[in-house]
Chain A
Amino acid sequence: MKMNKAKRKVAVAPVDEFPPGERVEIKVGKISIAVFNVKGEYFAIFGICPHQSAPLSRGRLQGTVVCNEHTNWEKEWAHDGEVLVCPGHAMEFDLRTGKAFGYGMKLRTYDVIVEDDWVTVIL
């Protein structure tokens, strides 16, 4: 039987106190989640780097270089402003998907909604 667990919501900040370019770190028990406002769009991603445990909420947001069949195997700058770079040793994560660039792994991402004018993360 499938359990229908109610999802837990965490109100992070009032919308007008969480403008583009800002970020917060939330801790729910032992779990750390990094939340970003990138040009008006909210992202939430698991907050601890799997490499050496650095806090991803402190990572810079940059672009990265891609090279694949879509770029005809030429290097191209891509994902500008949406690549979270770990402040430990620069592992890169796609904020939209949690996917680690160049690794077969992905961090958990969380939905973020605005509810009653509060930015709210759904766990």
Chain B
Amino acid sequence: MEKFLVDIFGSEITAYIIIAIIPLIFIVPYALFAVWLERKVSAHMQDRLGPMYTGGWHGWAQTIADIIKLLQKEDIVPAAADKKLHLLAPYIVFIGSYAAFAAIPFSSEYIGSHLNLGIFYIIAVSSLVVVGLLMAGWSSNNKWSLFGAMRSAAQIVSYEIPTALSLLAVVMIAGTLNLQEINKMQSGWFWNWFIFSKFPFVFIAFLIYFVASLAEVNRTPFDIPEAESELVAGYHTEYTGMKFAMFFLAEYANMFAVSAIASAVFLGGWNSPFGDFMSGPIWGVFWFVAKGMFFIFVQMWLRWTLPRTRVDQLMYVSWKVLTPFAFFCIFAIGIWLML
């Protein structure tokens, strides 16, 4: 793809800028769609209809209207806030989640950057989100925000360990950290996907990854950093208008990022489940997005079904359940590979 773009524009810089912008072009409409989907999914689960009027068919334009409203809103910064940090925080959060897209292979022909350390890079760069959240919570000069920020910092940092360990299980089998390579190894029919290899250890690793990723993106049952019934709105209590929208965008971008990693690492990424049927670079995008959206749907499903856990229970799950099991999986797969 880079070659193709370099050929067209005759300049590497232009080509790379375009490559870098493509995920953004994807994320913004996707976030609009996902917000709308969340409202519809929750509504239908709860015997309601959700938005029905804006735009005509099933209120499809509702989130567009919401964004326009948010853009027009007054940008309120609390008088006692740390203004610089307060301004910067939402962008850092978004950068953290957006940077992860650089190493996500959308198709066999398109990946932002062919990194040999793809998975490693994603895990590392998405930690930047924590900095942004802490900044947001601290700078708002609001105790509830601070509670939320502290909770989310503790939560995200702890859950990175089971996440990384469960991904490591696959990396051991694949022998590479490059996501594009991992995807290529899973081509063919769906039984070639890593989730079914070394059964059941990778499957357990997948479950660990999924639970941990829910916590990393602050979704129910682990949405305690922004638990609206406890902390009002957590770290973004004091944000309004577009800055609030940035947090939202980052949250939905993050949701897709973790879903995309799940599908790339465990479920064959852009590979068609049925061998050569509907495969190829363009179909690859379709399969990749479809798998990602499926996980997003599952995340929504869980959110509107389960209650929320408590901080100490959350830590318990991370340190005493997920982490030991992830180690166990790595250990078992290691032995299997040696035999």
Say if A and B assemble together.
Answer: no
What is B's interface to A at a CB cutoff of 8 Å?
none
